[in-house]
Chain A
Amino acid sequence: MRLDPDRKLDLEEVLSDLDQYRPKRKGWVWRQKIADHRIGPFVYKDTAENLERSVPLPAASHFGGIDPQADVVVTTEIASGRFEDDLRRMRMAAWHGADHIMVIRTTGQSHIDGLIEGTPEGIGGVPITRKQVRATRKALDAIEEEVGRPINFHSYVSGVAGPEIAVLFAEEGVNGAHQDPQYNVLYRDVNMHRSFVDAAESKKLLADGNILQLDGAHNANATAREAWKVTPELFVQHAINTAYSRGVGMSAEQIALSTVPPTAPPAPKLRLDLPYAVALRELFEGYKFRAQQNTRYMEADTMETTVTHVLDTLISRLAPSDIQSTITPDEGRNIPWHYNNVAGLNAARQTLMGIDGIDELLELRGDGAFRRQVRELKERAVLFLQEILDDGGYYEAVGAGQFVDSGYYPARSADGIVRDPAGGDGAGTVIRREPDYGAPVCSHFGDNVYAQGPGKPCAAYGGCTLCDDSIIQYIDEVDSSDTVTERLRSPLADRAAGLLRPEVEKHGDGVVCVTLFVPAAPDIAEAAALEMARHMGLAEPEIMSRRIMHPAEGSVFEIKGLLDLAIEIGQLPMPDKKALLPETEIESWARPRKPVVIAATVGEDEHSVGLHEILDIKHGGIEKYGFRCRFLGTSVSAEHLLDVAEETGASAVLISTIVTHEHVHEQQMRELDALARKRGLREKLVLIAGGAQVSDELARASGMDAGFGRGTKGHDVASFLVAAMREK
């Protein structure tokens, strides 16, 4: 499957022949750092290869459209509940620099003992199934070719079906996975013994499949009341999962510690979070670090969240990290909208590019309060681990509620999560292996009669699914009422009919967001804002964010609502959009020729601001390309304009005409054209008119060579001038 950048992702093609689809490649891929990387006008210190296709940051237009890519993997988390909608979001994210796509799993799946088949719709995430994984991998295989960089696909190996899911991931080319038995125990109430036995099996599969493992410690500071106080415990959680993974046979470079700066302003973030980040990297030297952004203290204000995430990203670079995860700035108020995945990615890459080479400027202090804090954190963590050992081990510690307690260890608040070692999902399901136990498959952990000799354990029957993927059984759908085909029926019909609806999450969901400032006290302003949204035609308006500007002067609201409207693409008025000449081409033509341009506001008209915007170098006007501009002032007659044009040997005359009553602007254009003809100057001169009510069509009909209306930039005019002068 090949993607055309000018065409939408063909979902029917993604879903066709999935029973035959095999992943293009398997295993995790890191970006490769390029030292002293010259990109456009700059030399970068911390970047990797450029993408072949992308949407650069907005300000890149001033630097030749460059789009430098950081040397760390950049993550975005995606899960609308419908994987078919997420595929389009993944494509948009990849074009904004994401190369680690994490699919959040539907909440209930942890408790299902076995694989789910088909493509049911999820709540708060996507049900992870073979068909969903295969379709996603197929789309990502095409998207990574489109952008020119491998994309790591990631999900979760947890819950009571963890090992089955790990097999599925190894078979289907999933590249990264969360695997941490403590997550099951603390947050999913899966039986501890079952969790750790399953974890050994899962980790063995991840290790052999070169699937990068992320642990789950960061969930503690997303859960704890005072997140910065659970930091000693986080070291312990990382240590338990890391040691267990090594015991199973995983290599250090496959183990990524998932870590989050625990606080957000107005907390003194750097002073609290940086010592923790540094202590963690020192204690776990040699392992990988996945830096998550703070979610614990997110409110509804996306700007506030973005600033926190910028500081998180700064900490990631100072600490440093191997993976920069991004969180959508709207996660504090709704299930993330697709364009907010892009907003989160852009905040990270903007920050990473802005602080490129920071190591050449800054060094963290090796003494003073900072180092004392680093040491103290490690001491608290070691004492925590020691206490667990003294009190009988991990199961007893969890049974006693020692984890996710909001006290700053050794202080305790008695609000930790308590789990019964003999309880939870899957309690009593672990069965001791008999001496003749055998499993004739590869990547199986522990004693196994088939793994004692040389050769593969699966050799007796021609190979397991990890060695021979032709024997994988593919199940298309199980629940005929909840299938991707059924869900796509209406969106694809819209697409075929050329209909467009607004959306934020799922295809054509009709959700829009409006920002309203209302100049009144908060309660009145809010009621008024909702009423205004209703009058705009929005159904079910709902305030997503409210910020008081002043208790009496007013508040600003972001309101979401439903716009039940489909636009027919075929009926849209599409103005002819002429391609502009590149700025370098304009300049290389104009600068050596120094063409003179005479400009003025004509008639009884004192407006000249717009014309200055087109002429002046300070406003990005045509002067900057080498045009010699002479502005004659306001209320200038056509006669005077042409006198000066003749004297100076000008190539063009630009008139600005703002006043339009009784079509005076049309008369002015006709008069200039007629007079130029009478004086024999028309062939030599390019005549252009501009103004708020001027259109290209009207100007041409009135004798001009071109007309420019509202929103015109110097580049538009310069491009036309060069093209027209070349012809003369």
Chain B
Amino acid sequence: MGFSSIEAKELVDAISERHLLGHGAGRLVLELAKSKGIDIRAAGGELLAGRYWDDLPL
């Protein structure tokens, strides 16, 4: 999806810690990007910064 291996690992770890991996890390990032009108890398960056976790489309 265009994340580096280091970014991808951090994202997956963060999503796994919140027990959300069953929904698909890629799906959560993509749907967040769509709902916020930002690009995918920006959405990943927001999650890594601790933002928007409550806005994830579950």
Contact = CB atoms under 8 A, between A and B. Distances in A.
B4 A461 contact: no
B1 interface: yes
B3 A473 contact: yes
The interface residues of chain B, by DSSP majority, are classed as helix
Interface string B13-47: 00010000111111100100110000110000000
B2 interface: yes
B49 interface: no
Nearest to B20: A434
Given A461-B1, A461-B40, A438 B26 contact: yes
A475 interface: yes
A121 interface: no
A352 B25 CA distance: 51
A437 B23 contact: yes
Contacts of B33: 461
A437 B22 contact: yes
B55 interface: no
Interface string A394-435: 000000000000000000000000000000000000011110
B5 A117 contact: yes
Interface string A105-146: 000000000110100000000000010000000000000000
Contact of A461 (B5, B6, B23, B30): B30
B34 A460 contact: yes
Nearest to A433: B22
Nearest to B5: A115
A355 interface: no
B26 A114 contact: no
Nearest to A116: B5
A440 B23 contact: no
Nearest to B40: A461
B4 A439 contact: no
A440 B22 contact: no
B5 A475 contact: yes
Given A114-B9, A460-B34, A461-B33, A440 B3 contact: no
B13 to A, nearest CB: 10
A438 B27 contact: yes
8 contacts: A117-B6, A164-B5, A434-B23, A437-B24, A450-B27, A461-B30, A465-B1, A475-B4
A185 to B, nearest CB: 23
Given A431-B21, A460-B34, A461-B33, A439 B26 contact: yes
Nearest to B30: A440
A472 interface: yes
B1 to A, nearest CB: 6
Contacts of A441: 1, 26
Nearest to B2: A471
A436 B23 contact: yes
Contacts of A450: 27
Contacts of A243: none
A164 B30 CA distance: 19
Interface in A448-469: 448-450, 458, 460-461, 464-465
Contacts of A461: 1, 30, 33, 39-40
The winner among A117, A432, A439 for most chain B CB atoms within 10 A is: A439
Contacts of B39: 461
Contact of A473 (B2, B16, B34): B2
Nearest to B58: A436
Given A117-B5, A433-B24, A436-B24, 5 more contacts: A431-B16, A437-B22, A437-B23, A437-B27, A461-B39
B3 A439 contact: no
A167 to B, nearest CB: 9
